Structure 1
Amino acid sequence: MRYLSTALVSEGVTDDQFLPRLLSRALTELCLTEFDDSVEVAEVQPLRDHRGPSSIGQLLDIVERNKGAFNLVFFHRDQGANPHRVREEWLEPLR
């Protein structure tokens, strides 16, 4: 058996309330259907320093302070009306 521990870095508290349950269910289903070994999927843990969105530097600091506590990190950022801006300011620097 393998163990999968994941974290979520999102924009706000409402994302932290909704997305972990959704992601945990999706990961459980994925692991059941796609892997031969059994995988115990832990609940997705939100990582947050304060209530609002964090900067790229703050996000990376949060992840660095918690490294070793999870195998996979999900980053969530709404694209809103300007997906190009989100890609340029958030996705590319995180890559």
Structure 2
Amino acid sequence: MLKHLGESGAIYSDPSYLKKLADCWTHDLTKLVNLAGLDADFGAARGANAALDGFWSVVKDWKETSRYEERTETDARVLHEAVSHAPNGVFPWIQSRW
């Protein structure tokens, strides 16, 4: 998403770009989608693809500290699938925007 920001000039055309650039150092996925200017595109993609929307509901609440929380193997498999499923996972959708 940071690459998209740099290429699109989204943060450099705004006088407060340094603040927005600092905001990019986060693990808040919803915030990163917003900062990348992909809210509308991602919302439309999720509206047209129930699997992507379902996977997003699993992934969006992940936080940096989540990796230290005890989870079941089933929880780990569900998260992995939501991130990596081809073609409906969150990561493949992000990769298609690089």
User: TM above 0.5, one fold?
Assistant: no
From the two aligned structures, give the one with the greater helix fraction. Answer: 2
TM-score normalized by structure 2? Answer: 0.27
From the two aligned structures, give the one with the greater strand fraction. Answer: 1
TM-score normalized by structure 1? Answer: 0.28
